Structure 1
Amino acid sequence: MSATSELGRRQLLRHIGTALAAGTVTGIVPAAAQGTTPSASPEPRASFGPLKRVRAGDLEVAYAEAGPADGKPVLLLHGWPYDIHSYVDVAPVLAGAGYRVLIPYLRGYGATRFLTDATPRNGQQAALAHDAVAFLDALKIERTLVAGCDWGARTACILAALWPARCKGLVSVSGYLIGSQQANAMPLPPKAELQWWYQFYFATERGREGYARYTRDFARLIWELASPQWRFDDATFARSALAFDNPDHVAVSIHNYRWRLGLAQGEARFDETERKLAAFPTIAIPTITLEGDANGAPHPEPAAYARKFSGRYEHRTITGGIGHNLPQEAPRAFAQAVVDVDGF
């Protein structure tokens, strides 16, 4: 174990002791020591403090920040249909361990806004990755730990693959998620296709109108299907659902899924990035992948992507009925993975 890793662990333990005394968190334990019962959501935790904003690339990005300004940066990226509150219980633990935690709203979510009406409301994977790089540039962050779930995990993987000098370590829920239109053109077995029902729904104008009209109902259904044992309450969902009121949320979401199937065009400025991603580059930086034992969303098996990580690598399956939104359902295990990969 490096001296830096040992220091981080000592800081983490001090934070846990303080938090336990205050009754605010239950602390971090190794993944193997997680509870064996489904994660129940207690009274909704406090949200983040006032958001910060920065102009970055095509966007004015709204983001939450926690921890010391001179701490080692950690970029946490959320997915669809979730928001920054996926990390509401992860952030204070990492901040207490001395990390500078940065959690931006993706394009089409929360208070993040496009700078001009002329910018396409593009949801392709390369666009989100360039957003993340622009965000780091705007904050003058040269190197960061990067972690994510769902769309955020895909973006984190892209950063690690194509901008490895910017990434100290990677934590990715559901593993290697880089895709391509060419690969997505190949049909899957029927049971696998069934899991993507909403992607095919979004391919139609009926689906676009349906998502626009019933955004919150749709998102809640996805939460329930993707995390069948997560007992979140109405207030927990409502806190995140505010992010879907963004005026560009529907357009970005629909474009993301249509682009995957080749039914919508991407932007020419991202063609070179997509060409590189279509080769499915390996990831050489230290990585921990995570999977919940009750993930109801489409996801690959760990054995299918292990060889895509050529550096120091570890996979952890988090037990106890943990579903797709792993950072929010098992925040201690997620935070532990960030600390551990920092010490690799």
Structure 2
Amino acid sequence: MPLSLVATGAAFAADPMPAAPSTQTAHDTFGPLKHIKAGVLDVAYVEQGPAAGPVVILLHGWPYDIHSFESVTPLLAAKGYRVLVPYVRGYGDTRFLSDKTPRNAQPSALASDVIAFMDALHVQKAVLAGFDWGARSADIVSALWPERVKALVSVSGYLISSQEAAKTPLPPSAELQWWYQFYFATERGRAGYEKNRHDFAKLIWQLASPKWAFDDATFDRSAKALDNPDQVAITVNNYRWRLGLAQGETQYDPLEAKLAKFPAITVPTITLEGDANGAPHPPADGYRQRFTGKYEHRLLTGGIGHNPPQEAPAAFAQAVVDADHL
């Protein structure tokens, strides 16, 4: 039964939940990937649902991949949505078209990839939903190109920041949560991630979702996306850029200047948070004012961590449907 619209701050129990269609099992894959040249990338993506349906784009984060949405996608497709799930630059089968393109992962570049992907597929407007890096990209697209976004679902809310804002130190307990960001700032960290990518990612999964009892097969399937030849460069660049230790590309300077002003998000939005999210994340009451359109916040209970689409797929899919109808 579809969940009803709720007031800001309502909690959703993640279990029990409707199962995905019986053709999907815990370790099935999406099936064959599609490819399209979009901007500087050859983007690998999954598409499900009717070709003429309203478009939903689902965006993953680090160190995850498109399989975070494997159970969400058929639920939305069954509702008549055309669901697109792309691999972010540096993940899976997505590749740069040129060896000369900087392996840049500053936030505006990642968000621009979403616009390029939409343009390549002739998608004028879509519902965007994401978590981690994907939520940040969805936030940025919604803030800078609101005419392209019908609605937004963002895990952990408003994730737009800037290099200038990142200069302000956090309390020690908060800085501790960002240990890997400081690790990646060093050559030792880059080499360590290159050498121990699989174990590193598994540790992040465990810390970010401490109550999620994922099995090895589930993790190993997603970890294959980290074998992308640009993964280390993209990951390290992303975190070094945040600390002002890596320069972006000048073509994105105007976008970053706009983002540094923390623009409001005006599109209809539902923000989500898991009650057991072990990754760094802002408090919901700290970003409420950034959303000036129709808005709801939902707390997912039952031990849900940093990856709600995979840990609570029915609740995540319902948020997409409800945001589309705000």
Deviations 1:119-142 (A, max 9, x none): 000010011011000000000000
Partner of 2:265: 283
Residue 90 (structure 1) aligns with: 72
- Paired with 2:122 and 2:190, the residues of 1 have a C-alpha distance of 38
Q: Percent identity?
A: 65
- List 4+ stretches of structure 1 deviating above 3 A: 28-31
Q: Judge conservation of contact 1:36–1:319 (CA < 8 Å) in 2.
A: no
Checking the alignment, whether the CA contact within 8 Å between 2:125 and 2:150 is kept in structure 1 is: yes
Secondary structure of the residue aligned to 1:107 is coil
**1:143 paired residue among 122, 125, 138:** 125
Equivalent in the alignment of 1:35: 15
> Runs of 5+ in structure 1 lacking a partner?
1-12, 14-27
Separation (CA, whole Å) in 2 of partners of 1:297 and 1:228:
10
Q: 2:179 aligns with which of 197, 208, 213?
A: 197
| Cα-Cα RMSD | 1.4
Give 5+ residue unaligned stretches, structure 2. 5-10, 18-23
* 1:86–1:325 Cα contact (<8 Å) kept: yes
What's 2:106 paired with? Answer: 124
Q: How many matched pairs?
A: 314
Q: Which amino acid in the other structure matches residue 219 of structure 1? A: A
* Alpha-carbon distance change, 36 to 187 in structure 1, aligned in 2, over 3 angstroms: farther
Shift of 1:46: 1.4
Q: Is the 8 A contact 2:104 2:238 kept in 1?
A: yes
Counterparts in 2 of 1:1-344, with a 5 A limit?
A: 29=3, 32-35=12-15, 44-344=26-326
- Measured against aligned partners, the alpha-carbon deviations of 1:230-265 in whole angstroms (never above 9, x if no partner) come to 000000001001100000000000000000000001
Letter in 2 for 1:180: S
What SS class does the counterpart of residue 318 from structure 1 fall into? Answer: strand
Deviations 1:57-97 (A, max 9, x none): 00000000110100100010000000000100000000000
* One-letter amino acid matched to 2:310: Q
Cα contact 2:27–2:217 (8 A) shared by 1: no
Normalised to the residue count of structure 2, the TM-score between the two structures is: 0.94
Give yes or no for contact 1:174–1:300 (8 Å, CA) kept in 2.
yes
Residue 47 of structure 1: how far off its partner (Å)? 1.3
Q: Deviations over 1:271-314 (max 9, x none)?
A: 00000000000001100000000000000000000000000000
Q: CA deviation at 1:33?
A: 4.6
Distance in 2 of aligned mates of 1:160 and 1:43: 33
